[in-house]
Amino acid sequence: DAKTTQPPSMDCAEGRAANLPCNHSTISGNEYVYWYRQIHSQGPQYIIHGLKNNETNEMASLIITEDRKSSTLILPHATLRDTAVYYCIALREAGTALIFGKGTTLSVSS
Amino acid sequence: EAGVTQSPTHLIKTRGQQATLRCSPISGHTSVYWYQQALGLGLQFLLWYDEGEERNRGNFPPRFSGRQFPNYSSELNVNALELEDSALYLCASSFLGAGWHTGELFFGEGSRLTVL
């Protein structure tokens, strides 16, 4: 599965949109982009995934560039409870288990 | 609907002992995954079981082993405990049927193992 690169940390003001980038320049055509987050001392939580189209659910939006080399997770109105480590993972649909990298620590402040 | 449940929540052992951790997946889920999260090392993939079979294994020594039972619950055994085995052990479950993606996992809250 392709390697992903994320900034180690980001800050966001409460109520603002949080845009978390992920680079996956070696992603192959059958690899999905998954996003998870882990709030301190809890198990990771699935957020969203996509292949090549933009996706939206009740938690977030996922924007994937046309060449699929990068993506952005958007939390439209960040709250203090969104403070967490966010992981971007590339995974083949029928491939191996999820392999987590270091992720991005998002700090939302008032 | 109950989520993934893990037991015990906390476990304290001494070096050289054995630890057994248990996981009950969400009803209907057939796959169980185990991850280790040691301080400062992030989430490390340990084991993946589906339909009672080991599907994949991470880069861990053989003293880390597990199994999946006919009811899809699972246990993780760690033999000959070492100090660096102290970590949060997370279990996740998923369903690999048509229409589901293998990357959508549901995690439990973990079992914290402390080795003294």
Tell me the pLDDT tens digit for each residue of A43-80: 999 999 999 989 999 999 999 999 999 999 999 999 99
Given an 8 Å threshold on Cβ–Cβ distance, is A43 in contact with B90? yes
Nearest CA in chain A to B107: A43
Given an 8 Å threshold on Cβ–Cβ distance, is B43 in contact with A89? no
Give the per-residue pLDDT at A53. 87
Whether B62 and chain A come into contact, CB under 8 Å, resolves to no
Residue B13 has pLDDT above 70, yes or no: yes
Give the per-residue pLDDT at A95. 59
Q: How far is CA A44 from the centre of its chain?
A: 12
Given an 8 Å threshold on Cβ–Cβ distance, is B42 in contact with A97? no
Nearest CA in chain B to A31: B103
Given an 8 Å threshold on Cβ–Cβ distance, is A93 in contact with B104? no
Average pLDDT of chain A to the nearest whole number: 93
3-state secondary structure A36-74: EEECCCCCCEEEEEECCCCEECCCCEEEECCCCCEEEEE
